[in-house]
Amino acid sequence: MRSFPLAPAVWQFRDTTKNSPWLQAAVPGCVHTDLLRAQKIPDPFWGTNEAGLQWIEEHDWEYRTSFIVPPELFDEEQIDLVADGLDTVATVLVNGREIARTDNMFVGYRWDIKPLLQSGANELAIRFGSAMKYIRTHRTGHQPREFNDPVGRSQVIRKQPCQFGWDWGPRLVTAGIWRDIRLEAWSGNRLESVRLSQQHAADGSVTLRLAPELAHREAGIACRHRLTLNSVVVAEGNGTKIRLEHPQLWWPNGHGSQPLYTLEIEILHADGRRLGRWMRRIGLRTIALDRHADAAGETFQFVVNGRPIFAKGANWIPAHSFVAGLTRDRYARDLRSAAAAHMNMIRIWGGGIYESDAFYDLCDELGLLVWQDFMFACALYPGDAAFLRSVQTEAAQQVRRLRHRASLALWCGNNEIESLNLDLLKQPALRRNYDALFHRLLPTVVARHDAVTDYWPSSPYRNDGDSTLAAGEKRGDTHFWDVWHSRQPVKDYEKWRFRFCSEFGMQSYSSPETQATFCPFGDANVFGAAMENHQKNRNGNQIILDYVSRRYRFPKSQDELIYLSQLNQAYCMQVGVEHYRRLMPHCMGALYWQLNDCWPVASWSSIEFTGRWRALHHVARRFFAPALVSAHVPGDETTIIGNYRRSTAGEVHLYTVFDQPAPARGLLGWELFHVDGRSLLSGRKKVTLRYGESVKQKTLDLTRLLALHSRDCVFLRIALEIDRRCVSQETVFLTQPRFLALPKARTKAAFTLSGPKAATVVFTSTAFQHRFAFDLAGVAHSASDNYFELYPGEARTVQLEFTRPQTVARLKRALAYRSLVDTY
């Protein structure tokens, strides 16, 4: 097969609704980015510009290019126009002749256009109709309950759901050629894909079975294969079976290495001519969603190579509001940050897109298991025959594209549709439509084209139909939003013993540095127009302030409020994740909402749109660490009539949680300090750490000391050492931090260059500082740690890396820092 790319050609676009002049376009791309490049619209992310750009979704657009077909392509029997992604309502014309109409963004298309081509210049035109016009005129009887689309009925078109708005993203309904477009010429037959299966034997060997999939059936074909690892040939020969006696297994992040074999397959016609070639990187592993009966109900755990894995990770949304042309580097920035925080699973949420191959390449390389939703979220979808046919094509293409991936762990039908529409699904017609799509069509497609990866109908879901939180303590996966949406106390995380928590979260504000990328000067107030436009949850600002006010004192500036909102977010996720990890193996997964942002915004993410880590991501690196010391304070502090405080917090249970494969011996330590620096109680205990164990190692009764010294004047330091190295430590408060009488501290920072683009900084303090955070204004950098506990008289060393060479003098000038006590 011969290929000729069309994306590098000179493309033009125009607004056909206004019959505007032709402008230069980029492919892959979309109308918003093309209009921005042509300076026809302002930056959609700046200030309140988004609202003024809603007219774009109402207009029709046209793209065109001219190309000359290489003469050798005409030697083939068929020349196909191949479009991997058209967004969305498109009419395709070649040399003025209409060849197709499309209405599914997630489907790749192939059309034989050889009869329409000529030896000279050819013109390809693609007219994109307004998605809103399509929505108004199609499936008009479908009137779903809306949760995120302020206009409504976006479910009737197969298009990226969150383009129509979400509670963290803008409404920017775009159009364009969003993935690759090219010519492919071939004769006789074509190799479409290869279905790969792995058989792992008890003796450790692995057998690969290869099933070529052709455009047409053909007898007598032959298969040649070559398998290499790190450029070394490990198997080569003919046939559809490869046996490896001593394979290197692929493991999730933190459980082993991620060796990726390169598998090259060549298919030959019976006469020896090459029919096609297929090459992929694969990992040798088994992955299963294990749901077996146990004393509590039914497990929900991922088992990799026979080992139950506690899933540590976050939910992924599209990395940009304009997804066309997302690069490997853009994905790598956030996915490498996930791996650095000890995550081993990413859930690709069902309101976005099926990501590009570069995304899954990185997950394979980094050991990030992929929970893959199909692209359906929250509201009910149609069930007519044409809609189901389109979805069947979409699903089959995506399953065949991704099924070989080492990282692929689960196919999931949708996000929250069943749990949000239980009452509506009591209507027989709506239930029939729902079941036809998520309980029949999608599992059938997965079984037909994959048959290895498990399918789960929805998230959250219980296979007995019980959607209550109590049922989540027995089986299935749970989304827990009582903390945040219902404004329940953070301690409510500890009320429930879920089997797997696949969504839970807390918002915070983006850093002042990220806010400066979208806020006009003088309009950065969190309740001002620009900031409100970058807060897409209707009650978001009020909820942030509510939770911040419960835990911290009134801040002295907006920058301090931002810092406190991030501390609160980190604290909430820490309480939830550590609770779920302490429940191991009853609970076997914690995926917080969310990892990333699609634009600069106040949100639940731990990584800001600019790539800057929120406090949460730094803290996540600690609470997801393979060896963890965790404190559970069963009591709580409340108020009575008259706003008098009452506390039942006197005991502290100290746990070790361990999911490192090799066992270890450690030393658990604890020390109760007065804020003036005096040590009031201390102790140590030798501990044995084994894979998959959460162990209550010690219970401290601090009742007497709290009565003697006041809980407002003490804090508990806990730590876990392995081989005389501290691998986990934390500070435990016995009251809300706003009541603590923290002293002001003097801080010293000493920089040492370790290279032109690397340095270390050593911080020391005269007093305890909670969540010490530093920044280097104007210096692009990454830090090995931040938002940490700085204890008096103890040096804290942080490694720094820069994008440009730096001097010690420059770093000293740029340094700024704060801790909790500096916020009021």
- Is the peptide bond preceding residue 460 cis, with omega within 30 degrees of 0? yes
- SS (HEC) of 226-246: EEEECCEEEEEEECCEEEECC
Q: Which residue has the tokens 């083939």?
A: 76
Contact in structure between 660 and 629 (CB atoms under 8 Å): no
CA atoms within 13 A on the CB side of 533: 21
Token readout for 454 is: 């498990």
The CA-to-CA distance between both ends of the chain, in Å, stands at 68
Q: In which element (H, E) is residue 358 found?
A: helix 357-366
Question: Could you say which DSSP state residue 141 is in?
Answer: T
Q: From the CB of residue 357, how many other CB atoms can be counted at a distance below 10 Å?
A: 12
Whether the CB-CB separation of 627 and 728 falls below 8 Å is answered with yes
Helix (H) or strand (E) holding 51: none
Q: Are 239 and 265 a contacting pair, CB within 8 Å?
A: no
Contact 438, 413 (CB under 8 A): yes
- Taking residue 793's Cβ as centre, other Cβ atoms within 10 Å add up to 9
Identity (one letter) of the amino acid at 226?
A: R
Long-range contacts of 492-495 (CB under 8 A, 24+ apart): 493/572, 493/575, 493/576, 493/579, 494/575, 494/579, 494/632
For 177, 332, 603, the CA distances from 598, given in Å and listed in that order, are 19, 15, 10
Question: Distance (Å, rounded) from C-alpha 45 to C-alpha 530?
Answer: 10
Q: How far apart are CA 155 and CA 421, in angstroms?
A: 14
Residues constituting the chain? 824
CA-based nearest residue to 252, from 312, 317, 332, 199: 312
DSSP 468: S
At 35, list the tokens: 């209009």
**Integer Cα distance of 456 and 88 in angstroms:** 28
3-class DSSP state of 562? helix
What distance in Å separates the CA atoms of residue 760 and residue 762, rounded to the nearest whole number? 7
Residue 416 annotated among the catalytic residues of the structure = yes
What is the C-alpha to C-alpha distance for residues 31 and 44, in angstroms, rounded to an integer? 12
Which residues, in sequence order, are CB contacts of 704 under 8 Å at separation 6+? none
Residue 190 CB partners (closer than 8 Å, separation 6+): 1, 214, 215, 216, 275, 276
Q: At 647, which helix (H) or strand (E)?
A: strand 644-647
Q: What is the CA radius of gyration of the chain?
A: 28
Q: Report the alpha-carbon distance of residue 183 to residue 111 in Å, rounded.
A: 10
Residues 6+ apart with CB under 8 A from 705: 672, 680, 681, 714
Three-class SS string for 696-731? EEEEEECHHHHHHHCHHHEEEEEEEEECCEEEEEEE
Q: Burial of 638 by CB count in 10 Å (0-12 exposed, 13-18 middle, 19+ buried)? A: exposed
Q: Single out the catalytic residue among 50, 355, 394, 416.
A: 416
- In the chain, what's the furthest Cα-to-Cα distance? 94
Catalytic residue list: 416
